Amino acid sequence: MSPTRLRTRSQPTVKPEKAVPSVAFRVLDAPRLKDDFYCSVLAYSYTCRTLAVALAHRVYLWTEAHGVRYPPLAPARAANYVTSLAFSSTTGGKAILAVARNSGHVALWSLFEQKTRFKLPHPWAACSVAWRPLMSCRQMPGRPELVACEDLLVGDDAGCLYYYSVFWPDFAAGYVVLLTKLDAHSQNICGLAWSPDGKTFTSGGNDNSALLFEADTVLQGNKVTQGVSEIDTGGICASVTGDMIDSYLTPPQSPNRLLPLSRVPSQPYITGQHFMLEQFSMTDPVMSTVNILTPPESPERTRARGRSPERLPRSFSQAVSPLPASKWQRQQNLETHLANPGISGCQSMHKKSFYHSAAVKAVAYAPWQPTLLATGGGSNDRQIHFHHTQSGSTLAVIDVFAQVTSLAWSSTSREIVATFGYAQPEHDIRIAVFAWPSCECVVSIPWERKANGEIGRALWAIPYPGGPNDAAAEKQDEEADIGFQA
């Protein structure tokens, strides 16, 4: 069925919005935070309820229960700043943190261990990292049987993608195998994202394009035959298996907004949006959803409305208690030499191309519909693009009049949140939520201007399922662990 094009121009009147607090419930000091559009310096571990934050060349961990902690990463120079952070899949339960740096090194360390296991070098700066949301099953070097492993993507400053298989056994050193190298973009890679079913991934580049890849096609293009692959670096791996999530739940549509106009903040640009919607019929078979399990909702906020946000006395630069000791000693840190410049990359392996008018850093798949992809353009684009990955069609485009720095879909409602950088024309909205498929702005949060009249930008945002009640849940988990050990 061919898409129907719908052009609408909303009236410049203020519309009721969703009841969302415009102030943060936690404010953490972040000294030396690098003001760089191309850096993605936040990551959250659902396994350990831990937030990782990179401030210049250092990485800090924060939880509701324990505050700030330091990971045991090797010291780095100030010029060797962190460019991207990412935690491994929740299904794997390893809580492996990938730390990419400007030098090209990517360190892999688990929150359950005392030392960093691997340090992956690259000839160019490592710009972006992303873990596959599901475990894979491959043959580990030296073992005949198939072993569960994690898949890791690393994008560098030259536009190349490295596809790794990470074997992380509990009582052995493990292995990292380079499965394939892709010559993807002509400039540095700004963003990476996996689909929730693990079948596809998308890379966004500074060459104003987003490229869609199919994981099976990429691995088959690297001579994967009969489950065994001969890699140029001498590695051996098994092909990807069909480990998919069985049940997916589609969240309900956004309810109508019935709040009185007096409670809605002033929003001169986002609510008076101009957007073009090119939408498939919701009954079209190509847009049928599959049932995807969604993580539980955040605990209900009990703080009374109208109170100012709680500001913690501690900051990321303060020393708190060290990390707990692991249950066993790990082997000495390993450094691999997989990504050497002599390895030739595969070209033209992408399935679809999505073009923008600026760099593409914000890339996000809908967790309840793997074929729905959202991408955001930089300063010269200032739009959120929605794509159907199977057909490559553009479903909708929202002009947000600002640099799109990040996108995150809700897992409990058909809505997407966007954060903005510099705005053109200048306005103070830095966070906005849009309903799907209507593309209506249901939430907009302004930022205060500085004394000189300038407004900062939101550099990056990630879903955070925790909240003020998360500390109690962590304490319960710790008591359960102590009881089990006893």
**Contact by Cβ (8 Å): 417, 410:** yes
pLDDT in tens, 17-51: 566 777 777 888 888 899 999 999 999 999 999 99
Query: What pLDDT does 29 receive?
Result: 85
The answer, yes or no, to whether residue 462 has pLDDT greater than 90, is: yes
**Per-residue H/E/C for the chain:** CCCEEEEEECCCCCCCCCCCCCCCCCEEECCCCCCCCCCECEEEECCCCEEEEEECCEEEEEECCCEEECCCCCCCCCCCCEEEEEECCCCCCCCEEEEEECCCCEEEEECCCCCCCEEECCCCCEEEEEECCCCEEEECCCCCCEEEEEEEEEEECCCEEEEEEEECCCCCCCEEEEEEEEECCCCCEEEEEECCCCCEEEEEECCCEEEEEEHHHHHHCCCEECCEEECCCCCEECCCCCCCCCCCCCCCCCCCCCCCHHHCCCCCCCCCCEEEEEECCCCCHHHCCCCCCCCCCCCCCCCCCCCCCCEEEEECCCCCCCCCCCCCCCCCCEECCCCCCCCCCEECCCCEEEECCCCEEEEEEECCEEEEEEEEECCCCCEEEEEECCCCEEEEEEECCEEEEEEEECCCCCEEEEEEEEECCCCCEEEEEEECCCCCEEEEEECCCCCCCCCCCCCCCCCCCCCCCHHHHHHHHHHHHHHHHC
Band (135; pLDDT cuts 50, 70, 90): very high
pLDDT at 333: 40
Most confident by average pLDDT, 57-66, 86-95, 269-278, 345-354: 86-95
Give the residue-averaged pLDDT of 471-478.
54
Q: How many CB atoms lie within 10 A of CB 284?
A: 14
Is residue 450 pLDDT above 50, yes or no?
A: yes
Average pLDDT, the chain: 76
Q: Which amino acid is at 292?
A: I
CA-CA distance, 215 to 295, in Å (whole number)?
A: 24
pLDDT of the residue at 451: 80
Q: What Å distances lie between residue 248 and 56, 342, 369, 411, 437, CA to CA? A: 38, 43, 8, 11, 19
What is the share, in percent, of the chain residues with pLDDT greater than 90? Answer: 55
Residue with tokens 């399990």, as numbered in its chain: 293
Task: Identify the residue whose tokens are 């359950």.
Answer: 112
**For residue range 390-401, what is the model confidence (pLDDT) as tens digits?**
999 999 999 999
Domains recognised in the chain with CATH numbers: 4-485 (2.130.10.10)
Going by pLDDT thresholds of 50, 70 and 90, the confidence category of residue 470 is low
pTM for the predicted model, two decimal places: 0.76
- How much is the pLDDT for 445? 92
Q: Residue 476: phi, psi to the nearest 5?
A: -65, -40
Tens-place pLDDT, residues 146-195? 999 999 999 999 999 999 999 999 988 899 999 999 999 999 999 999 99
What confidence score (pLDDT) does residue 220 get? 85
Average pLDDT over residues 233-248: 30
pLDDT digits (tens, 9 = 90+) for 182-211: 999 999 999 999 999 999 999 999 999 999
pLDDT digit string, tens, across residues 254-292: 555 443 333 333 343 343 333 333 333 333 333 333 444
pLDDT digits (tens, 9 = 90+) for 290-304: 444 444 443 343 333
Q: What is the pLDDT of residue 456?
A: 87
pLDDT band at residue 250 under the 50/70/90 scheme: low
Q: What is the pLDDT of residues 319-352, one digit of tens each?
A: 333 334 343 333 334 445 566 667 778 888 999 9
Cis peptide before 71 (omega within 30 of 0): no
Question: In this model, does residue 310 exceed pLDDT 50?
Answer: no
Task: With beta carbons less than 8 A apart as the criterion, state whether 420 and 426 touch.
Answer: no
Determine which of 128-142, 178-192, 227-241 has the lowest per-residue pLDDT on average.
227-241
- With a CB cutoff of 8 Å and minimum separation 6, the contacts of 326 are 112, 113, 114
- Amino acid 475: pLDDT: 55
Q: Which of 49, 59, 57, 103 is nearest to 298 (CA)?
A: 49
Q: Is the pLDDT of residue 253 over 80?
A: no
Residue whose structure tokens are 């200032």: 382
Per-residue model confidence (pLDDT) at position 252: 58
**What letter represents residue 238's amino acid?**
A
| Single-letter residue type at 446 | P
